[in-house]
């Protein structure tokens, strides 16, 4: 799993023709029910919805691919296929932006995200979990990461957009359509809330739909035990190591270096 620290949050994959895989019912974003949560009553309703769900997918919009320094722009949550909610918290530059205070959103989302009862679904969840950890939120029970699953299944393209097209036949909006690219690229925080909401809701929604399909494929290929008992439990371990580092016994390393040096000298003398 070491390679995950090298993968970008929004990898671009080559377009390939949709292929026949396990059969699941899907809902493209054009037929979905997406909501922007920008008032306290709306947030209350969302939390009630999450409390009734056995699982939900989540996705963050941020200002950087570097999870340790990224600032949260918004978070989307999808408790069911075709249903998702976007909570803007860091949009700027469009006059009076209607959004809830970041502190309030973190305080209210912390319990359901840290609750180990509902299963959490994500794409490159280690990134999102790292960002949330910087805000004091420890996500528990990340049971399915679609990028980890795609890697185990041998998919050439691990990006969410590429997987949505190849596995579900759904063409999603690329991030460049919102923030541009190259010298003209802007921060996600400068994107209008309604555009960011549609984009982010689709990310969370499709992640949830992909999880169902990829789970079936993992079972079909005999990879479910490896995925659920080895790969997924490693995600929070790697997250902790990357955030906190690894303690080294320098005295022991010095002794080992000395012993190895002596052994090399003996080998050279033979």
Contact present, 172 and 202 (Cβ < 8 Å)? yes
pLDDT at 245 over 50: yes
pLDDT for res 121: 99
pLDDT at 132 over 90: yes
pLDDT at 175 over 70: yes
Segment 254-264 mean pLDDT: 85
Handedness of CA 233, 66, 210, 22 (dihedral sign): negative
Structure tokens at 263: 């052994």
- Of residues 70 and 253, more confidently modeled: 70
R_g of the chain computed on alpha carbons: 21
pLDDT for res 27: 61
pLDDT for res 259: 86
Contact present, 171 and 13 (Cβ < 8 Å)? no
Q: What whole-number distance in Å separates Cα of residue 204 and Cα of residue 83? A: 9
What are the distances in angstroms from CA 224 to CA 118, 126, 160, 230? Answer: 19, 20, 20, 10
**Which CATH number is 82's domain given?**
3.30.420.10
pLDDT band at 94 (very low <50, low <70, confident <90, very high): low
Q: What whole-number distance in Å separates Cα of residue 52 and Cα of residue 56? A: 10
Q: What is the pLDDT of residues 1-25, one digit of tens each?
A: 333 333 333 343 333 333 434 545 5
Q: What whole-number distance in Å separates Cα of residue 110 and Cα of residue 127? A: 17
What is the tally of structural domains in the chain? 1
Q: How many helices (H) and strands (E) does the chain have?
A: 10, 6
pLDDT band at 44 (very low <50, low <70, confident <90, very high): very high
Structure tokens at 101: 């205070």
Q: In terms of DSSP bridges, do strands 119-122 and 83-88 run parallel, antiparallel, or are they unpaired?
A: unpaired
pLDDT for res 247: 66
Range of the domain at 230: 2-269
pLDDT for res 268: 83
**Of 8-22, 110-124, 160-174, where does mean pLDDT reach its minimum?**
8-22
Segment 256-269 mean pLDDT: 84
Segment 37-55 mean pLDDT: 97
For residue 80, what are the β-bridge partners? 83
The angle at the Cα of 38, spanning 91 to 202, to the nearest 5 degrees, equals 75
Segment 145-171 mean pLDDT: 96
For residue 144, what are the β-bridge partners? 121
Compute the mean pLDDT over every residue in the chain, rounded to the nearest whole number. 88
pLDDT band at 265 (very low <50, low <70, confident <90, very high): confident
Segment 105-130 mean pLDDT: 97
Task: Give the 3-state secondary structure of residue 264.
Answer: helix
Q: What whole-number distance in Å separates Cα of residue 216 and Cα of residue 239? A: 27
Q: What whole-number distance in Å separates Cα of residue 8 and Cα of residue 15? A: 18
pLDDT for res 8: 37
């Amino acid at each position: 799993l070491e390679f995950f620290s090298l993968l970008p949050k929004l990898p671009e994959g080559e377009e390939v023709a949709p292929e026949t895989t396990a059969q699941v019912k899907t809902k493209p974003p054009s037929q979905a029910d997406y909501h922007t949560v920008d008032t306290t009553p709306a947030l209350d309703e969302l939390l009630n919805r999450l409390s009734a769900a056995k699982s939900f997918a989540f996705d963050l919009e941020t200002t950087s691919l570097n999870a340790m320094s990224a600032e949260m722009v918004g978070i989307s949550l999808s408790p069911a296929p075709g249903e998702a909610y976007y909570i803007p918290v860091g949009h700027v530059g469009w006059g009076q932006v209607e959004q809830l205070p970041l502190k309030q959103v973190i305080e209210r989302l912390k319990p359901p995200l840290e609750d180990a009862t509902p299963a959490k679904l994500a794409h490159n969840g280690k990134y999102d979990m790292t960002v949330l950890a910087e805000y004091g939120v420890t996500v528990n029970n990340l049971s399915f990461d679609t990028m980890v699953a795609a890697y185990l299944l041998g998919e050439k393209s691990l990006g969410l957009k590429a997987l949505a097209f190849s596995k579900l036949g759904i063409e999603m909006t690329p991030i460049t359509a919102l923030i541009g690219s190259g010298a003209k690229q802007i921060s996600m925080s400068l994107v209008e809330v309604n555009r960011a909401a549609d984009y982010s809701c689709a990310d969370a929604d499709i992640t949830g739909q992909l999880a169902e399909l990829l789970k079936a494929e993992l079972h079909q290929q005999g990879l479910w035990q490896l995925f659920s008992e080895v790969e997924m439990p490693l995600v929070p371990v790697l997250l902790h190591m990357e955030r906190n580092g690894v303690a080294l016994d320098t005295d022991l390393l010095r002794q080992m270096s000395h012993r190895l040096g002596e052994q090399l000298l003996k080998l050279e003398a033979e």
